[in-house]
Amino acid sequence: MTKIVEVKGIKIGGGNPIAVIAGPCVVENYEITYQTAKRAKEITTELGMPFIFKSSYKKANRTSLKGFSTIGEKLALEILAQIRKELDIPVLTDIHSEPEAEMAAEYVDVLQIPAFLCRQTELLIAAGRTGKAVNIKKGQFMAPEDMKYAAEKVASTGNEKILLTERGTTFGYHNLVVDMRSIPIMRSTGYPVVIDATHSLQLPSVGEKSGGRPEFIFHIARAAVAVGVDAIFLETHPEPSKALSDSASQLKLDFLYELLYQVKQIDELVKKFDEFTINQDVR
């Protein structure tokens, strides 16, 4: 059984119902961000699923200089804070440097460490010191068992509100693969584990931007929930083809209800099994 990480009354891990972390890749403007958050809240409320809204106020890791980064850091953070207040929902956003940790913590509830930065000691410690929950994405180059060291860096600050996210492993050039064994391996650290069902299907750096295979989002999500994740992470957008970032891998907002409905059914079935039965040594 994992620890329980609590975010504004939402309990993640420890056998609690699967939580949903969802929203557009990046803050493009108030209208799209609010529209997506409102619809996602309506869906998760109807399904009775805990919900954390996500959107990056800045994308620091772009394939090329032409890639969209931000509408402005302060403006994007203010939009997230406004939606957080208006819809009364917790919010997650990425950070990329030590100063960003303290700055973003004033606006959101969860700080996310991007996969490429998951070994950056100073960044992890800065995030931990804010006292906010910290979601660490497993680097595409990382073995799942090594994520315990990233978690230890955050925990060294006295903050154990830590989530670990599986988002695919480099599989040759321009491709990722999800090893479902990584989920129980990372859960063995004692921290709740999240499946990123959209970034896991990216085709990294295909030309000037990343591609994707969104037709497999349902497959990855259902498989990971069957294995026993504690939360599901999804980037979703009203019109993915027009999104300013990660347009090739986001889930169309129209499909969010059906995906989460299926996820909930699988999660409820999995949680009927005894924890010992799932984790016993069968050798």
**246-270, pLDDT tens digit by residue?**
899 999 999 999 999 999 999 999 9
Question: How sure is the predictor about 207, in pLDDT bands with cuts at 50, 70 and 90?
Answer: confident
Mean pLDDT of 224-236: 97
Mean pLDDT of 57-67: 77
Helix (H) or strand (E) holding 82: helix 73-87
Question: How sure is the predictor about 210, in pLDDT bands with cuts at 50, 70 and 90?
Answer: confident
The C-alpha atoms of residue 186 and residue 182 are separated, in whole angstroms, by 6
In the predicted structure, residue 201 carries a pLDDT above the cut 80: yes
Mean pLDDT of 64-78: 88
* Six token digits for residue 11: 């309990």
Reported pTM: 0.94
Mean pLDDT of 152-166: 98
Q: Does domain 5-278 have CATH number 3.40.50.1970?
A: no
Backbone angles phi, psi at 91, to 5 degrees: -130, 145
In the predicted structure, residue 209 carries a pLDDT above the cut 80: no
Mean pLDDT of 199-228: 91
The predicted pLDDT at position 67 comes to: 73
In the predicted structure, residue 60 carries a pLDDT above the cut 70: yes
The predicted pLDDT at position 97 comes to: 96
